[in-house]
Amino acid sequence: MAPAALSLTLLILCTTPPLTSAGFPHLKGWQRSSSSSSSRWTRLWRRGSSSSTPPTRTVPPEGFYVPMSNGGSMLTSVPNTFPPGQGEPVNAILSGSSDAQVLVDQETDGGMRNYFLSFGFSGECLGQHSGSDQAVDLGDGDGFQNETSVIRWNYGDAQLGSCQETIQGGNHFRYWVQNGPAADSGAIFMAVSYEMPISQDHDIIVNGYNLGRDWLIGNITHQLVPTPNITNGTSYSGTTAWANYTYQTDITYRAGLLENTNFNINHNFSVGVDGVNASDGLVAVLDVKITGVPAKS
């Protein structure tokens, strides 16, 4: 482990409370209220404009442009894999047809970071990025770009819970914005997975790409999403809230964007087992509308 990573680990171990729930604690998160407000400061870094007014864009009926139509990919580029050249599936998309306010990368005014908090996910521990970057080409004319940020399950603590996820492992996702000159949909492409603790090098659990995606959808919809039964066109809806903003999310699973395969998938020897491929070939497309806002003072 690098000295910087060791220092961060020691800091977090001193400040993070021990976990008291057994098993997968994200299941408990489906029951907890997520309407609390948050005033934490978040370090943001993103591609594109940081203005609260989204740029003019053209959104296709699907809510995004298919990356492969313009030389892109739905697999990330991961450095130093074995064997070389493996990637991780981009297995969820926040549609560009969502309310424009939701697509702005900020926690204020009901923005995207506030939406993530509404289903239990926060920015990185103490605003500091850890781990290696992954890149993806979304076919938008900008080529391969590193992730905008990594968002982590916060174990019910919006301020420090992502520190616990960094140490203990859990659900998390990287995301990228499709906003290049050739395909500016504003859609948010997400690579979701469930990782092991830092002591196990954050390897991915068995079936962790598919399960991580579906556990995230379960958090949004407050129900168990049965991964083996999901097929093309399966749909769910859910309502979440944070900081007095309420969000309605309609989810549809779509086939044809990813392959149902172990080939070229990172950690495929340990993630895809017992006849289940590391990537099941399905992408969850989320369309989000703001249905409630804070009362004016």
Q: Which pLDDT band holds residue 82 (cuts at 50, 70, 90)?
A: confident
Q: Which pLDDT band holds residue 63 (cuts at 50, 70, 90)?
A: very high
- Cα dist. 197→7, 13, 23, 32, 186 in Å? 16, 13, 13, 24, 33
List beta partners, residue 189.
93, 176
- Cα dist. 109→53, 202, 203, 247, 285 in Å? 11, 33, 36, 13, 23
- Three-state DSSP class for 207? coil
Mean pLDDT of 4-23: 40
Position 285 scores a pLDDT of 99
Cα 55 from Cα 68, distance rounded (Å)? 24
pLDDT above 80 (res 99): yes
pLDDT above 50 (res 19): no
Task: Write out pLDDT tens, residues 245-259.
Answer: 999 999 999 999 999
Which two three-digit tokens encode residue 102? Answer: 């939701």
pLDDT above 50 (res 163): yes
Q: What are the DSSP calls for 110-131, one per residue?
A: G-HHHHHHHTTEE-SGGG---S
Task: Write out pLDDT tens, residues 135-156.
Answer: 999 999 999 999 999 999 999 9
Mean pLDDT of 185-212: 96
Position 38 scores a pLDDT of 37
Which two three-digit tokens encode residue 213? Answer: 């995606």
**CA-closest candidate to residue 282, choices 61, 92, 60:** 92
pLDDT above 60 (res 91): yes
